[in-house]
Amino acid sequence: MTIIDGKKVAQEIRIELKTDIDKLKEEGRGVPGLVAIFIGEDPASQIYVRNKAKACDEAGIKTKTETPDATISEKELLSLIESYNNNKEYHGILVQLPLPKHISEDRVIEAISPKKDVDGFHPVSVGNLVIGKDAFRSCTPAGIQELLKRYDIETKGKHLVVLGRSNIVGKPIVNIMLQKKEFANSIVTVCHSAAKNISEYTKQADILIAAIGSPEFVKADMVQEGVVVIDVGIN
């Protein structure tokens, strides 16, 4: 059995990025900049934002975290986003979700310039992904494909089953793996809460992606011998 080690691959990528960014510095072309906007005190989100900043620091990416008070108005938040849309020092903007109830997530996501939408949530980014154009892609689905690539796992014509249909993981990975491209071009099945007998589908999978955040949901008797399983949830 081969273990697909996401942490190991992530470290390799950070080292590769640092080499590329150091070269940009030497050439006087500046460094990539990322700003994260985090509102509230959600513990999981705090850890997530902190880990993003740490990863960027290791790779040599300039980072900044904006932490407005939870009482910030939607208008004020949209104005803050617009200021970074026009800020040439920062090439990526991410707004940590969820947001306070008085702020529309849709309006906030749509306020981010598609050119800086590193989370790949903007409708323009989503549309470009669906039709196969180059665009920012949601980080986790892009990471899944990168794992398949780095472990040289054949995907063309393989039956890939996705558990979950969230806008963050499930739907984007479906659109990524349907593309007629290298390390994609799969036959994709999506299982969600309306599926009556999930094991009926998982037993057919050559590649199984669990993106439902339910610990120990996938049991050994739900998969066939030799299946590739990638666990995305906090399981």
Q: How far apart are CA 157 and CA 185, in angstroms?
A: 6
171 among known catalytic residues: no
CA torsion sign, 165 to 125 to 10 to 96? negative
| Closest C-alpha among 35, 32, 37 to residue 14 | 32
Cα distances (angstroms) measured from residue 50 to each of 17, 29, 35, 45, 64: 19, 27, 12, 8, 11
Catalytic residue among 96, 116, 145, 171: 96
Choice among 116, 119, 171, 206 that is catalytic: 119
DSSP 8-state secondary structure symbol assigned to residue 115: G
Query: Known catalytic residue: 119?
Result: yes
The 3-state DSSP class for residue 35 equals: strand
**Pair of tokens at residue 28:** 């006087």
Q: 127: part of which helix (H) or strand (E)?
A: helix 123-131
User: Measured between alpha carbons, how far is 16 from 75 in angstroms, rounded to an integer?
Assistant: 39
Give the alpha-carbon dihedral of 219, 223, 225, 230, to 10 degrees.
-80
Q: Is 62 a catalytic residue?
A: no
Task: Tell me which residues are annotated as active site.
Answer: 52, 96, 119
